[in-house]
Structure 1
Amino acid sequence: MTANRNRNGPVGRFFGLPGARGVSGAVLELVLWWIGGTLSWLVTVSTVTLPETVAAASTALLGAVLARTARRAMGFQAAARGIWLRWAALVPAAAVTDTVRLARWLAGPRGESLQDQRMPGTASPKATGWRAAAMIALSSTPGSVVFYSDPDARRIRVHVLAEGWPRLDRHVSPGTGQGL
């Protein structure tokens, strides 16, 4: 009983020891971080070789442990939402169109703007993942970047260099994260 209490106390939570979800939840999270890290590494190499794959997998395993530890220490909760799939589908289209629009900057500077927008999601701690995913989506194209967020005022500031279809900001910003 004492060992279980210590394991789930502040120190155990900091180091990411299994808590309410148990060992299977912890292992699943580590495996997902590991796969994500390994794939992220491998898609950036010009040629996938055995040594490169071993380096990717071993580095990603360490990264998975550190990511879980950091997430648990911050109390970060990120329940995936279906709307994230729509954002993920729009990001490649926005990246291509922004790149084409930004090519005009080679001829000389064009207009840019700072836009204050409503922060997606709710103010609850459970919506942390929602807000983080929204800011990642808005910053993942060459035409815009979120450079300031104020959770208390529920606002984000986005630096926009290229505007137009598919207007990723309009799809992301109104998200309310209901149910969080």
Structure 2
Amino acid sequence: MIRVAEVVWWWAAAVGVWLLTLSSVTWQELVVAAACGLPAAVAAPAGRRAVGGCWRPRPGWIRWAATLPPSVLADTARVFWTALRHARDERPPGRVREVPLPQEAPEPVAAARRALATIALSSTPGTYVVDDDPERHRLVVHSLSESTSPTEKAITR
């Protein structure tokens, strides 16, 4: 029963991602999304087991989603400003820096935080995660900003 639930979860996620990329949803697109999502959903548990993946996210982390809109707006403005400024500037924009993560136990909780933090931070246009370091409890990010975003502050609490 758990395996069926996992396949259904992956199928819903694949279909959801497909539909999010559309400008308008038609019944034909729904059929194609459902059909293409199924093989991906069937293969996903085997892939997760192959890499030893096991996540246990905490329900409180859903609050990170509330910080995304202001972070996306600020980063969008920063991207445009950097593009205008960089046309006249010789220095490469942005910098690589470390984002410390709280130590979590057990490992499935820490792995879930790293993975979901990577998704959340990379969802903004001015920041992306370059690497994660589980032993040092940190993410390495490239960011156009010198300061921390609301999303980053929420993740590091």
What is the CA–CA distance in structure 2 between the aligned matches of 1:42 and 1:139, rounded to whole Å?
20
- 3-state SS of paired residue (2:111): helix
- 1:131 corresponds to: 114
- 1:146 corresponds to: 129
Unpaired runs of 5+ residues, structure 2, are none
What is the CA–CA distance in structure 2 between the aligned matches of 1:83 and 1:100, rounded to whole Å?
29
Q: CA RMSD in A?
A: 2.2
Q: Equivalent residues in 2 for 1:1-180 (5 A)?
A: 24-109=1-86, 112-122=94-104, 124-126=106-108, 127-162=110-145, 166-174=149-157
How far 1:49 moved relative to its partner? 2.1
TM-score (norm 2): 0.82
Contact 2:131–2:141 (8 Å) recurs in 1: yes
- 3-state SS of paired residue (1:116): strand
Larger Rg belongs to: 1
Question: Relative contact order: is structure 1 or structure 2 higher (C-alpha 8 Å, sep ≥ 6)?
Answer: 2
What is the CA–CA distance in structure 1 between the aligned matches of 2:148 and 2:136, rounded to whole Å?
28
Unpaired runs of 5+ residues, structure 1, are 1-23, 175-180
TM-score (norm 1): 0.73
Identical residues among aligned pairs (%):
36
- 3-state SS of paired residue (2:97): strand
